[in-house]
């Protein structure tokens, strides 16, 4: 099961200060709390091999395997931040050093995930465990701030969009190889999906369309792998495809957004 986006609440800690960001995750880590913070049963942290280009996150059974993640990526994952640009400051190796992590969830805890069904947010609890790991192994300390960050505003580019309103079907949104198929999808969900795309860089995409409700639509584009869209490509790039096919546009700008400032972090002792 791949990592997905979830919501959470506010967290305040003694050694580590963790406050609600965008959505983020929360647990009580204060020294005076009787509640024990969620943590992996055991976890190994090793440096990624210099010749490795693999980058992956996978959760299966009671194992969480993370490969080739920088500390910035780990923080983004642990607090479910929408963009890496929401992480400010930090050591000079924040992006340079990459890590491989193998974490084991206690068997009883893993069994309870599946027994509780929809009432239990497995992804949220795993990310809380990652928060604890970052605190204990990286001595991470962060605080929440407001910062004016570069964003893309998702806006309507013409009088009429090519979105089909949908009120009855279950929501689904799939993205694969430059093709997006959306059913009963809101513009907030659309903006969140666009934020994760390589073409927008580290900018968050904010829904500024004023469109309410949910919609069905298909979108096809040629993914930009950093070298631009080839002239012979069947489909245009993402920005052009949005405007031509859906009547939407990504408009660059700046907006106040929640962010995390890294106060301290240390390289872990490798296993």
Q: What is the pLDDT of residues 117-169, one digit of tens each?
A: 544 567 888 899 999 999 999 999 999 999 999 999 999 987 678 888 987 78
**DSSP letter string over 103-129?**
EE--HHHHHHHHHHGGGS-HHHHHHHH
One domain for residues 56 and 91: yes
- Residues 242 and 123 occupy one common structural domain: no
Q: Is the pLDDT of residue 266 over 70?
A: yes
Report the share of the chain in percent with pLDDT over 90: 60
In which order are the strands placed within the sheet that holds 98-104?
42-47, 98-104, 63-70, 56-60
Above 80 in pLDDT, residue 181?
Answer: yes
Give me the domain span that covers residue 201.
Answer: 158-246
Place of tokens 């969140």: 192
**CA 179 from centre of chain:** 20
Instruction: Assess whether pLDDT exceeds 70 at residue 25.
Output: no
> b/e for 209-223, b at 16 or more Cβ within 10 A?
bebeebbebebebbb
- In-domain check, residue 17: yes
Label the pairing between strands 172-176 and 179-185: antiparallel
Q: For residues 27 and 12, what is the distance between their CA atoms, to the nearest angstrom?
A: 8
**Shared-domain flag, residues 101 and 223:** no
Same domain, 227 and 268: no
Selected residue with higher pLDDT from 223 and 1 = 223
Residue 72 lies in a domain: yes
196 and 120, same domain (yes or no): no
Structure confidence at residue 112 (pLDDT): 64
Q: Which residue has the higher pLDDT, 31 or 2?
A: 2
Same domain, 69 and 41: yes
- How far, in Å, CA of 181 to CA of 187, rounded? 14
26, 68: one domain: yes
Dist CA 6 CA 165 (whole Å)? 25
Same domain as 186, residue 63: no
Q: Let me know whether 129 and 226 are in one domain.
A: no
171 located within any domain: yes
Continuous segment of H or E residues that includes residue 42: strand 42-47
Using pLDDT thresholds of 50, 70 and 90, give the confidence band for residue 251. very high
- Whether residue 221 sits in one domain with residue 124: no
Region of 18 (left: φ > 0; alpha: ψ -120 to 50; beta: rest) is: beta
In a domain, 115, yes or no: yes
CB 103 within 8 A of CB 129: yes
pLDDT tens-digit readout, 99-115? 999 999 987 766 665 55
The whole-model pTM stands at 0.73
- 183 and 118, same domain (yes or no): no
CA distance 38 to 69: 21
**Domain identity same for 191 and 128:** no
């Amino acid at each position: 099961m791949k990592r997905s986006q979830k919501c959470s609440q506010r967290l305040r800690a003694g050694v580590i200060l963790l406050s609600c960001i965008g959505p983020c995750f929360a647990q009580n880590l204060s020294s005076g709390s009787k509640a024990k913070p969620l943590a992996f049963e055991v976890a190994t942290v090793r440096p990624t091999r210099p010749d490795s280009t693999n980058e992956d996150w996978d959760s299966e059974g009671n194992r969480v395997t993370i490969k080739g993640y920088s500390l910035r990526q780990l923080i983004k994952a642990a607090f479910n931040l929408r963009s890496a640009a929401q992480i400010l400051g930090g050591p000079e190796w924040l992006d340079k050093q990459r890590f491989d992590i193998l974490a084991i969830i206690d068997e009883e805890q893993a069994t309870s995930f599946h027994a509780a069904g929809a009432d239990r947010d497995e992804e949220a609890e795993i990310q809380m465990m990652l928060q604890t790991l970052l605190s204990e192994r990286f001595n991470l300390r962060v605080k929440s701030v407001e910062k004016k960050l570069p964003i893309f505003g998702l806006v309507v580019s013409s009088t009429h969009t090519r979105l089909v309103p949908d009120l009855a079907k279950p929501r689904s949104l799939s993205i694969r190889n430059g093709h997006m198929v959306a059913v009963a999808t809101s513009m907030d969900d659309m903006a969140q999906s666009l934020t994760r795309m390589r073409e927008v860089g580290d900018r968050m995409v904010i829904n500024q369309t004023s469109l309410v409700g949910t919609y069905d639509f298909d979108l096809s584009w040629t993914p930009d792998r950093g070298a631009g869209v080839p002239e012979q490509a069947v489909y245009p790039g993402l920005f052009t495809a949005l405007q031509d096919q859906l009547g939407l546009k990504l408009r660059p700008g700046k907006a106040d957004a929640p962010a995390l400032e890294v106060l301290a972090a240390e390289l872990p002792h490798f296993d």
